[in-house]
Amino acid sequence: MAPPAAAKAKPALLLPALALTLLISSATFLVAKRTLAEFPPLPLALFRFVLAASLLWPIVRVFHRGKRIARVDRPRIWLLGFLSAPLNQALFLVGMQWASASHAALLYALTPAFVVLILLAGGGGRPSALQLAGIVLAFAGVVLLLVQRGLHFDRHSLLGDVIVVAAVVAWGAYLALGTSLTRRYGPLLVTSEAMLAGAILYLPIGLISLRGFDPSRISPMAWAGLFYLAWLTSGVNYVLWFWGLQHLKPTTVATLTNVQPIVAAAMARAFLGERLPAGFVISAVLVLAGVWITRVGGERVPEPQPAQPDAAVRSG
């Protein structure tokens, strides 16, 4: 039996790589907000998926020549593709039409809580009392955030936040269910295969959304934003993230999102002029404290072991 991933020697560039993912992810909320000022969300999602797949596929053919996903694991790849493209990324872009960059970044900080819940639902053991308390605290912060939107009668912003929460659930499922495949095949191969599958699944919706789309009305800045979302966020960032999962626990890697709302909020303030009301600060404290407690209290929950090719989905 192969030794657990946590026992492997960690590469020297692992922490710098994960720090890079933090910067890429934090800036993604600002880039998406700016790009969506010109791009409709559904065509933007189509171009994003196609460009990401077109970048990753040739790279995989060079570095993993002859290596393929086993037929028995193909259903899992299609599931990951569905979670990453039509659900996570498409919902994220739709929600970002109305959600602020700082709010969306805070909502994505819930990722560790959703990873834990999904692993537990898949047979990962019973949560500790401390872990449950952390999850409840984190979700209380999100409820407070959403209630504030409603009290201010900002229905579009509230709807944007809710849609982003749905995207976060899909992202947590993608992380939890993709771990075992990544340990077996490597992050680059799994990411490219899932991205290609997701692009294929999204293609009918994307093609229909192109009706009335006029590319000549899109500025060079918005096109640059598209390439950022496609090649950095959906390409480089996914690969680095799953590379981290090969050597660290899923909840440990996901905990990097604790810092992301702070970085993203600072960027949004500096570049987009977004104001952070007192209610946001209270919500951020609750969410980040809850996620931290969830991680600390999660030591009793078994981490998924690398699955055999015929293992059930719960092993992911």
Place of tokens 């390439």: 227
Does pTM top 0.85 for this prediction?
A: no
pLDDT at position 196, please? 93
Instruction: Determine the Cα–Cα distance for residues 105 and 257; give it in Å rounded to an integer.
Output: 8
Q: What residues contact residue 298 under an 8 Å CB cut-off, 6+ apart?
A: 116, 127, 128, 131, 251
Helix axes 220-227, 14-35, angle to 10 degrees: 140
What does DSSP assign to residue 312? -
Instruction: Determine the Cα–Cα distance for residues 269 and 103; give it in Å rounded to an integer.
Output: 12
Instruction: Determine the Cα–Cα distance for residues 4 and 1; give it in Å rounded to an integer.
Output: 9
pLDDT at position 180, please? 87
pLDDT at position 250, please? 61
Q: Cβ-count burial of 197 within 10 angstroms (0-12 exposed, 13-18 middle, 19+ buried)?
A: buried
**pLDDT beneath 50: ranges in the chain:** 1-7, 300-316
For the stretch 214-223, pLDDT in tens is 999 999 999 9
